Amino acid sequence: MARTLYQWFAGSAARYGDRIALETGGVRLTYAELDALSARLAAELVRACDGPPARAGLYAARTPLAFAGYLAIQRLGATTVPLNPAVPGARNRTVAATAGLDVVLADATAHPPPELPAPVLSLDTDGLAAPLTAAGAADPDGLAYVLFTSGSTGTPKGVPVRHRSVDAYLSHVVPRYGLGPGCRVSQTFDLTFDLSVFDMFATWGGGATLVVPGRYDLLKPVAFVNRERLTHWFSVPSVVSLAMRLRRLTPAAMPSLRWSLFCGEPLSLRQAAAWQAAAPESVLENLYGPTELTISCTQYRLPADPAGWPRTANGTVPIGLPYPGVEHVLLDGDGRPAAEGELCLRGVQRFPGYADPADDAGRFTSFDGVRARDGEPVTGESWYRTGDRVAWRDGLLVHLGRLDQQVKISGHRVELGEIEATLRGLPGVHEAVVVALPGADGELELEAACTGHGLDAVALAKGVAAVLPGYMVPRSVTVLGELPLNANGKVDRRAVAGALRG
């Protein structure tokens, strides 16, 4: 029978109660202590809501309360909706309103904004109510969490994920990466990023220790790995580029690492080579998966000898092959199977459809083995259209880019249309185009062009920053007299990019 997220944790708590489950900010909690703290927080939630909530927001980041709070919501059988204290209040208000939260559990030290559209239970870890003695009802078909991704229409899209999907995922990754007592695992992802579910529950599902970095540790990943004696590393590839730029990846610089996992954006062969040289005892894997397919759904393990590494035309590491239980097909522009085309996926890890069914339009297709058909009702047999262009190369899947205007910035999924909609909503703006261009280190950077009257580029950038997360704020905004058009009368994005880079 499929397990819920809390059951994955509780199993380890029963077996390894005196082992360290969490290290953050100088605090070390055993499995028994973390479980007890989550029980006390759960009791506070029940008291505040006159019973277990159905859907609870979590406004906290990388403190003991953040992780115990996540567990508290899960042990009640409720759905977790993480909110990010680091993003503008407007963003959190939109997410909270769209999610239909019953309550928001907030870390008092994070100073939750008073205008959230749900009752806020602001707590610290002292003076909590008596703990609950039992967990809530376990429903493997219920929703474990809802995460919100960038939406092309200007509104974030809610992605609900079932416990059954996460259970299939954890059943694969926990044994694959040898997670167990004695392992020390990095926690690099914000709780609003789906990869954080691996950080927490793959670690706790195996009885390992989750090690949370301090505020500036990810700027110095090598020092963090060595200071904390990490055995497992998981991050976006951008962290590798930062370490390369700072010249920290010296030979054998991270001898404690046994596993190095990367996901969230393309991993270049150059990045992989630099990291492997610095962690020569580490097995390196490249993972791929949209939030809709539950964290990650394909894998490729690089051979220990770089001489055996594949050479791809775009210089990226292959995304490999799908996990057990994940079906895939590549479809060309006519909806027919091809050796290169859009990657479509289904199976136990596929989400049931967006929180707003209107967002399902164009994202699902049916396929009879010959040709795909769009516009049919979403069922368990429907294929999710990832929008990623993928090709078979020497028996492996290789990611070639996107078929739309979605990009990855530091691993975060960004719809350029959402930023453009925000810019168009600012006073005086008539038209707006956002493009993603490679920076000096090869990482993508956002730049914007606007037309209108009385516009100030600095004020426009500040206007976006007041609404969207920092990773969605353009590095620069250029005011143009008009936007260049192509022969069809549409905005010529390539010409805009050329004008911005001049």
The residue-averaged pLDDT of 443-466 equals: 92
With a pLDDT cut of 90, the percent of the chain lying above it is 79
Class level of CATH domain 7-161: alpha beta
The residue-averaged pLDDT of 185-208 equals: 97
| Residue 91 token pair | 């963003």
Secondary structure of 408-419 as H, E, C letters:
EECCEEEEHHHH
pLDDT at 153: 67
pLDDT class of 63 with cuts at 50, 70, 90:
very high
The residue-averaged pLDDT of 3-32 equals: 97
With a pLDDT cut of 70, the percent of the chain lying above it is 98
pLDDT at 1: 85
Q: Whose structure tokens read 């990045």?
A: 271
The residue-averaged pLDDT of 98-113 equals: 94
On the question of pLDDT at 502 being above 70, the answer is no
Give the sign of the dihedral formed by CA 268, CA 319, CA 404, CA 197.
Answer: negative
Average the pLDDT over each of 149-163, 168-182, 266-280, 349-363 and give the range with the smallest value: 149-163
State the average pLDDT for the chain.
93
pLDDT at 245: 86
For 257-371, strand residue ranges (E) read 259-262, 283-288, 298-301, 321-322, 326-331, 340-347, 364-367
The residue-averaged pLDDT of 276-292 equals: 97
On the question of pLDDT at 482 being above 60, the answer is yes
| Residue 239 token pair | 């962290």
Query: Alpha-carbon distance 213 to 300, whole Å?
Result: 27
Which H/E stretch holds residue 75? Answer: helix 64-75
On the question of pLDDT at 29 being above 60, the answer is yes
Alpha-carbon distances, residue 413 vs 150, 299, 406 (angstroms): 6, 19, 7
Which residues, including other chains, have CB under 8 Å from residue 126's CB and lie 6 or more apart?
A: none
pLDDT digits (tens, 9 = 90+) for 312-328: 988 999 999 999 999 99
Domains of the chain: which residue ranges? 7-161, 321-402, 406-501
Class level of CATH domain 406-501: alpha beta
Q: Measuring CA to CA, which residue among 348, 343, 346 is closest to residue 329?
A: 343
Average the pLDDT over each of 24-38, 130-144, 423-437, 487-501 and give the range with the smallest value: 487-501
Strands 372-374 and 79-83: unpaired
Q: Where are the alpha helices (DSSP H) in 50-63?
A: none
The residue-averaged pLDDT of 28-45 equals: 96
Give the distance from CA 243 to its chain's centroid.
21
On the question of pLDDT at 203 being above 70, the answer is yes
pLDDT class of 494 with cuts at 50, 70, 90:
confident
Contact yes or no for 115/89 (Cβ under 8 A): yes
pLDDT class of 345 with cuts at 50, 70, 90:
very high
In single-letter form, the type of residue at position 334 comes to D
pLDDT at 410: 84
CB atoms within 10 A of CB 116: 20
Average the pLDDT over each of 210-214, 215-219, 303-307, 393-397 and give the range with the smallest value: 215-219
Question: 229 versus 219: which is more confidently predicted?
Answer: 229
Class level of CATH domain 321-402: mainly beta
pLDDT at 487: 62
End-to-end CA distance of the chain: 59
pTM beyond 0.85: yes
Q: Whose structure tokens read 């453009």?
A: 420
On the question of pLDDT at 421 being above 90, the answer is no
Please spell the DSSP secondary structure of 78-119, one letter per residue.
PEEEEE-TTS-HHHHHHHHHHHT-SEEEEEGGG---TT-SS-
